[in-house]
Amino acid sequence: MTGKTAIITGANSGLGLETAKSFARLGARIILAVRNLDKGQAAEQEIREESPEATIEVMQLDLSDLESVRAFAETFTSRFDLLDLLINNAGVMTPPYTKTKDDFELQFGSNHLGHFALTGRLLPLLLQTENSRVVTLSSLAHRNSAIYFDNLDGSNGYKAMKFYGQSKLANLMFATELDERLKQHGVSTLSLACHPGISATNLFKIGNREMPRIFKGLLHRYLQPATMGALPTVYAATEADLTGGEYIGPDGKGRRKGYPALEQPDPAVNDAGVRQKLWDVSEKLTGVTFNFSK
């Protein structure tokens, strides 16, 4: 990966940080796209302790704010001519009912719409970069989920885990639909999806409160560490034999733990009509349209 440029959203902790560490070891230039700059700079220092020669930059990005997404993309595009890897990693999981600045339900707004808008705004750079890739993180929670088009903002009822599953299904549908459209236009950019199994990361909170230490200890005993959870992302970003559209997850029992392997998504992902509707709704809500012309 020497000489390649990678943006990783949510790179200050958990899976994003471990992905950044891997990319640093492989020689990539890394952009840590984070909401909190202080935490991002702390992550930069942690990466440099392992890889002192790494090329790292911290940039502010709040995926729950479309204006922040626009500002990030404009700043990046003004400074860089190419983008080899966009890792749509950041996520929020099962918060109390919350709205984003743009009046979206927080999980759908941050996990899906924010990444949709970011990818669309960075697409010109991705298309200019030969063999670039977009890797979008989904979750086991996408299974048995649906897109609630009549209640996307949760105003007609909200259940945190149900809406988390919706956002992760949206991530996987977006990655799949994006790859189909890239292939239709005959470009070399690939879109792939992955999931970390069940990893002991700081996503596991009770509301906005940290989980008690005793439960954190149990998580680390029975779930795989973030270093393992990040491997499907690294594999999706670097494996030469992948052709786009693949879904990568751990190979162990229940796909909860293990090493990266190809996986079959829930059959709902194959519904082209729902994917098309989700794409159209996402463009309308974000105001971002995708231009696949180089």
Among 33-37, 77-81, 205-209, 281-285, which stretch is predicted with the lowest mean pLDDT? Answer: 205-209
The helix (run of H) or strand (run of E) holding residue 31 is strand 29-34
CA–CA dist 113, 192 (Å, integer): 17
pLDDT of residue 205: 45
pLDDT of residue 293: 87
CA–CA dist 275, 269 (Å, integer): 7
199: pLDDT strictly greater than 90: no
188: pLDDT strictly greater than 90: yes
Provide the percentage of residues in the chain whose pLDDT is more than 70: 92
| pLDDT classification of 152: cutoffs 50, 70, 90 | very high
| pLDDT classification of 221: cutoffs 50, 70, 90 | low
Question: DSSP character for 150?
Answer: G
Catalytic residue, candidates 158, 235, 247, 259? 158
Active site residue 222: no
Give the count of beta carbons closer than 10 Å to the beta carbon of residue 157. Answer: 10
Query: Mean pLDDT throughout 34-41?
Result: 98
Q: Exposure of 287 by Cβ count < 10 A (0-12 exposed, 13-18 middle, 19+ buried)? A: exposed
Provide the percentage of residues in the chain whose pLDDT is more than 90: 86
45-71 pLDDT tens trace: 999 999 999 999 999 999 999 999 999
| pLDDT classification of 224: cutoffs 50, 70, 90 | confident
Domain 5-286: which CATH class?
alpha beta
8-17 pLDDT tens trace: 999 999 999 9
State the chain's mean pLDDT as an integer: 92
CA–CA dist 175, 194 (Å, integer): 10
- Contact (CB, 8 A) for 65 and 102: yes
Helix/strand/coil (H/E/C) assignment for every residue in the chain:
CCCCEEEEECCCCHHHHHHHHHHHHCCCEEEEEECCHHHHHHHHHHHHHHCCCCEEEEEECCCCCHHHHHHHHHHHHHHCCCCCEEEECCCCCCCCCCECCCCCEHHHHHHHHHHHHHHHHHHHHHHHCCCCEEEEECCHHHCCCCCCHHHCCCCCCCCHHHHHHHHHHHHHHHHHHHHHHHHHCCCCCEEEEECCCCECCCCCEECCEECCHHHHHHHHHHCECHHHHCHHHHHHHHCCCCCCCCEEEECCHHHCCCCEEECCCCHHHHCHHHHHHHHHHHHHHHCCCCCCCC
CA–CA dist 46, 178 (Å, integer): 34
